[in-house]
Amino acid sequence: MKITIAVAGLDPEQKARLNTGLPGHEIRYLDQVAGDPARQVCVAEADVVFGNVPAAWLEAARQLRWLQLDSAGVDAYLRLGAARSGTPVVITNLRNFFDVAVAEAALAGILAWHRQLPRLLAAQRETRWIKGELEQAGVIAQVHGARVIILGAGAIGRRIAAVLQSFGAEVRYYARTSPVATLRNRAELDAALPTADIVINTLPHTPETIGLIDRERLARFRPTALLVNVGRGSVLDETALVDALQAGQLGGAVLDVTATEPLPAASPLWAHPRIILTQHTGGRFPGEAAAKVTRFLENFARFTRGDPLDGVVDPPRGY
């Protein structure tokens, strides 16, 4: 088989593992191929692609049988089956891969906001002592006892819940079918939002989730509530978020994802004093590339045996 590897940042040791683990197959690394036309040829001729290549390149991949993404997000690839002819393509993503890292990133943002670290760090740079100012304003909060709603009950949502519950938070899930969810439709979510201290989005990008956190829903938040988005930027109406913050309809926001990435320099999200931006770094962790290689080799063994693959995407559902 012809296997195209398009994962960024692989070092010689990781490539050697792939070469050893894929004996008898023709392996092409896109970072060793000069120019997009040649790279597109590598993709077009592949039986298997490992990595997030431009989705448009896959339309010409007539013999492609399996696409292993090196991300959890699948948005750009959902129309792959409809956009090309030939052998049906199985798409897999890195499901249950980033949950620990994203949970730590969410916790970092929540604690930074509750302990007023952005203001304290700014004051440190200006050599200003603001202890009394913060205490008088009563803006220091804590996770212990907080009422949390997590949108989505997948691996990331459940990991975040476990972390926050260890701090003594009370967690509820919003999810249509998960047995752990107590909020199963939008009416139930809307009724619960005014009681939440923290609302955390972990939902993927699907037709059903686009704009879920809109202007009307933001108006239901407590004035002191914190919104955390570690899911997809498309779930949140960012213009409505800025307006809600300006109007005092919620306390603040921690955004790891935004609708457009990189975030344009003109976006008001950059300068807003009650927004913490973590620039989609939530999934990063030491040894990430090596772990991706391990996941691919394990899945490739399943593929060659004809066993079910890990992380199969269901395009109609969007994840």
Q: Residue 175 and residue 185: Cα distance in Å, rounded?
A: 7
Cα angle value 300/61/64 (rounded, 5°): 25
Q: Residue 247 and residue 241: Cα distance in Å, rounded?
A: 10
Cβ contact 145:168 at 8 Å = yes
Count of beta carbons in the 10 Å neighbourhood of residue 303: 19
Burial of 48 (0-12, 13-18, 19+ CB in 10 A): buried
Tokens found for residue 218: 């933001």
Task: Return all residues near 116 (Cβ < 8 A) that are at least 6 apart.
Answer: 134, 139, 140
Cβ contact 87:200 at 8 Å = no
Alpha helices in 233-287 (DSSP H): 238-246
What are the C-alpha distances in Å from 137 to residues 25, 125, 126, 143, 273?
65, 21, 20, 18, 15
Cβ contact 250:227 at 8 Å = yes
Cβ contact 173:152 at 8 Å = yes
Q: If we measure between CA atoms, which residue out of 182, 169, 175, 55 comes closest to residue 107?
A: 169
Q: Residue 73 and residue 318: Cα distance in Å, rounded?
A: 10
Residue indicated by tokens 């448009």: 56
Residue indicated by tokens 């686009």: 210
Question: Which of the residues are catalytic?
Answer: 232, 280
